[in-house]
Amino acid sequence: MKLPYAEPFRIKMVEEIQQSTREQREQWLKEANYNLFNLKSSQVFIDLLTDSGTGAMSDQQWGALMTGDESYAGSRSFQQLHETVQKISGYQYLLPTHQGRAAENVLFSVLVKEGDVVPGNSHFDTTKGHIEFRKAHAIDCTVDEAFDIENLYPFKGNIDLAKLEHVYQIYPKEKIPFCLITITCNSSGGQPVSLENMRAVKELSDRYGIPIYFDSARFAENAYFIRQREKGQENRSIKETAREVFSYGVGMTMSSKKDGLVNIGGFIALNDEKIYRAASNFTIIYEGFITYGGMAGRDMAALAVGLNEATEFPYLESRISQVEYLGNKMIEYGIPIQKPIGGHAVFIDALKFLPNVKRAEYPAQTLANEIYKEAGIRTVEIGTILADRDPDTRENRYPKLELVRLAIPRRTYTNNHMDYIAAAVKNVFDRRDEILKGYHITWESEILRHFTVKLEEA
Ligand SMILES: *Cc1c(COP(=O)(O)O)cnc(C)c1O
């Protein structure tokens, strides 16, 4: 008999989680103004809000915490992290930050000016926020395949070269500080970018003199997909592939809360000394001295170990096959999800799931709230509320897809939890015809409104 797959780890410490009743959840959701970000974690049974900083560290990482060096300047933990980042990325300079958006804040303070455009593949929300905050524009050049959830194209994070070249042709070079490749592409569903595409983007960008930066929160998962799906890549190590990927750019921002396998942290790595010097000043103003940038020494030590673990095949196989396991269960139940299944999350197509809820009443938010009421599972809307208003017209921006994301924390839940989640979503699916109304916004902030928006039942 062929032995089934089993995780390459065992569990050393457990954390209790608690069930609740439907009546309790309905009350809590109302008190939270129907915004799942406002729930207390104790009101949630399985938390799929995000896979950002919510995973379990290994015993090696917990061990590293104890050896952290808390020196203000030149700490040993910084050196360890610096060497690890150099080895994995090939980039020479490192600036730690307290998380990924802080890395964006520091780097974009140097690179992005009012009126600039930053082309890329579906920019992440904080990335777009940091671009638009500087009165610049993010231009989405993702391939069209990304917006058809049934299309099995293996690299739906790819950049459409024609769209990118169009940007290079209509804007002067001085207005395009860089092209940003997000790996994997979070906003299009955790979809990978192929090596071939990155090479082509690099070649095109070189012709126009535009540098490439990576938003690399899930670079290890991206490298895993390259190994699984791209011809000729199946025998390379994850570290080798990642190193080649980074060779097509001049620098990276990182949210260590993803493929760094830690609960907090981020960094910038790059090669250009002048940009590094300028970014160092912003690091000191916003984050801390350049050898800690808002991170404790112990956190840098755990991150150095985490980056090494995240770039090993057995870890990535267990991580991504669990996401696949959940996705395949949903497909079996006929639930419309994005295919192929992404690296860190399963995405449900809310427009197909809830065709009776009007676009203006936020179908994805409606579905996320129904899933919470059903089983205490917290997910997140990746739809119109997240897409914010157009900065010029202040009208709702309706994205092509209205999704509910079920992000799976790393090394945290078992496949029994996955079975529970799939069954809960199926129960909502079975009564989808009864769900006719969504929500109205009663209050929202000017930027990144999804975190704090208040809603009422329509
Ligand atoms: C999470 C993430 C960020 C922001 O990082 P934080 O650590 O949450 O501040 C930026 N880009 C991508 C692609 C991300 O996934």
pLDDT tens for each residue of 264-299? 999 999 999 999 999 999 999 999 999 999 999 999
> Which of 215, 222, 254, 450 for a ligand 1 pocket mutation test, highest count of atoms within 8 Å of Cβ?
215
User: Does residue 186 carry a pLDDT above 80?
Assistant: no
Whether the predicted pLDDT of 188 surpasses 90:
no
Q: Is 407 helix (H, G, I), strand (E, B) or coil?
A: strand
CA triple 351-194-302, angle to 5 deg: 90
Tokens of residue 387, six digits: 């897409």
Where residue 446 falls among pLDDT bands split at 50, 70, 90? confident
Residue 304 CA to ligand 1 center (angstroms) comes to: 18
Q: CA 96, CA 217: separation in Å to the nearest integer?
A: 14
256 CB within 6 A, ligand 1: no
Nearest one of 196, 126, 128, 124 to 158, comparing CA atoms:
196
Sign of CA dihedral 395, 399, 405, 407: negative
Of the candidates 341, 434, 458, 454, the one whose C-alpha atom is nearest the C-alpha of residue 34 is 454
- Say yes or no: CB of residue 257 within 6 Å of ligand 1: yes
pLDDT tens readout for residues 290-312: 999 999 999 999 999 999 999 99
Separation CA 338–CA 190 (nearest Å): 10
273: exposed, middle or buried (Cβ count in 10 Å: 0-12, 13-18, 19+): exposed
Average predicted confidence (pLDDT) for the chain? 96
- The per-residue pLDDT for 147 is 85
Banded model confidence at residue 108, pLDDT cuts 50, 70, 90: very high
Any atom of ligand 1 within 6 Å of the Cβ of 298 = no
Strands (E), 108-255: 117-120, 137-140, 179-182, 212-215, 251-255
The pLDDT of residue 235 is above 90? yes
pLDDT at 104 over 80: yes
Instruction: Specify the ligand 1 atom closest to the Cα of 265.
Output: 7
Is residue 142 a contact partner of residue 121, using CB atoms and an 8 Å limit?
yes
411 alpha carbon to ligand 1 midpoint, in Å?
A: 19
User: Where in the sequence numbering do the catalytic residues fall?
Assistant: 72, 124-125, 215, 217, 258, 450
Fold observed for domain 59-310:
Aspartate Aminotransferase; domain 2 (3.40.640)
pLDDT at residue 150 tops 90: no
The pTM of the full predicted model, rounded to 2 decimals, is 0.94
Separation of CA 251 and ligand 1 centre (Å): 16
Q: Give the model's pLDDT for residue 121.
A: 96
With a 6 Å cutoff on the Cβ, whether 217 touches ligand 1 is yes
- CATH assignment of 22-51+313-457? 3.90.1150.10
Out of 258, 405, 448, 450, mutate this one to test ligand 1's pocket (max ligand atoms within 8 Å of CB): namely: 258
Residue 176 pLDDT exceeds 80: yes
Of the candidate ranges 111-115, 189-193, 276-280, 431-435, the one whose mean pLDDT is the lowest: 189-193
Instruction: For residue 241, give Cα distances in angstroms to 53, 236, 293.
Output: 24, 7, 28
Q: Judging by beta carbons within 10 Å of its beta carbon (0-12, 13-18, 19+), is residue 42 exposed, middle or buried?
A: exposed
The band of 174, judged by pLDDT with boundaries at 50, 70 and 90, is very high
- Cβ contacts of residue 372 below 8 Å, gap of 6+? 25, 29, 36, 39, 44, 378, 379
* pLDDT at 7 (0 to 100): 95
The minimum-distance atom of ligand 1 relative to the CA of 99 is 7
pLDDT in tens, 24-53: 999 999 999 999 999 999 999 999 999 999
Residue 98 has pLDDT above 90, yes or no: yes
pLDDT in the model for residue 324: 97
**Do you find a cis peptide bond into 172, omega within 30 degrees of 0?**
no
pLDDT reading at 189 higher than 80: no
- In terms of DSSP H, where are the helices of 333-414? 350-353, 363-375, 384-387
Percent of the chain with pLDDT strictly greater than 90? 93
Q: How far apart are CA 74 and CA 292, in angstroms?
A: 8
What distance in Å separates the CA atoms of residue 5 and residue 317, rounded to the nearest whole number?
10
Closest CA to ligand 1's atom 11:
124
Predicted pLDDT of residue 50? 96
Ligand 1 pocket check for 265: Cβ under 6 Å: no
Distance 310 CA to ligand 1 centre (A): 16
Please report which residue ranges of 13-99 form alpha helices under DSSP H.
Answer: 22-31, 59-66, 76-89
| Domain boundaries, given as residue ranges, for the chain | 22-51+313-457, 59-310
Vertex 385 angle, CA 448 and 356, to 5°: 175
Cis peptide before 384 (omega within 30 of 0): no
What pLDDT shows up at residue 100?
98
Q: Which of ligand 1's atoms lies nearest the C-alpha of 255?
A: 7
First to last CA, the chain: 55
- Residue pair 193/222 in contact (Cβ under 8 Å)? The answer is yes
With a cut of 90, say whether residue 67 has pLDDT above it: yes
Between the CA of 98 and the centroid of ligand 1 the distance, in Å, is 11
